[in-house]
């Protein structure tokens, strides 16, 4: 495979993948995706019911978007640098972009798990979790 094609393909997949993760966590946080093993941040406790699934992902959404945006911009930057210098430099920058995404998603998962104990997720009138979309 031509190195230029490999760089374009790799950067495109990394950019689309990073943004897809951000959109998916955001939609889960809005309550538009039911709890499932295949989608969402890892953790059995996050999937106990639909409200917990949505609320914990809503808490993790800002960190997820931050990580996804930085990783996507870094992937595009890796492509720009790689086209000018070569595939070796592109590979280093693409790996750094992927590492940023992994670290950001690790922090977002930590935030989702810590949200399980947040008082902000409880409604004062019923002491139960707020429904997604109720602000």
pLDDT digits (tens, 9 = 90+) for 50-68: 999 999 999 999 999 999 9
Check: CB of residue 21 under 8 Å from CB of residue 105. yes
Give the model's pLDDT for residue 125: 45
Check: CB of residue 85 under 8 Å from CB of residue 31. no
* Global pTM exceeds 0.75: yes
User: For the chain, how many structural domains are there in total?
Assistant: 1
Rounded CA-CA distance 63/68 in Å is 8
Rounded CA-CA distance 96/101 in Å is 9
Check: CB of residue 74 under 8 Å from CB of residue 85. no
Residue 84 lies in a domain: yes
Q: Tokens 């940023």 correspond to what residue?
A: 100
Residue 131 lies in a domain: no
Check: CB of residue 80 under 8 Å from CB of residue 69. no
Count of CB atoms situated within 10 Å of the CB of 127: 7
Residue 107 sits in which domain range?
A: 3-118
Residue 94 lies in a domain: yes
Give the model's pLDDT for residue 131: 55
Residue 56 lies in a domain: yes
Residue 28 lies in a domain: yes
């Amino acid at each position: 495979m031509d190195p230029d094609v490999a760089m374009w393909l790799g950067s495109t997949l990394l950019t689309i993948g990073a943004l897809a993760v951000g959109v998916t966590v955001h939609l889960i946080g809005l309550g538009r995706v039911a709890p499932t093993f295949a989608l969402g941040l890892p953790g059995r406790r996050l999937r106990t019911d639909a409200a917990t699934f949505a609320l914990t992902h809503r808490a993790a959404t800002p960190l997820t978007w931050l990580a996804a945006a930085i990783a996507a911009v870094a992937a595009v930057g890796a492509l720009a640098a790689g086209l000018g210098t070569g595939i070796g430099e592109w590979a280093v920058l693409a790996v750094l972009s992927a590492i940023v995404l992994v670290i950001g998603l690790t922090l977002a998962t930590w935030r989702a798990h810590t949200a399980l104990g947040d008082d902000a997720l409880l409604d004062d009138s019923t002491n139960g979790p707020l429904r997604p979309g109720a602000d």
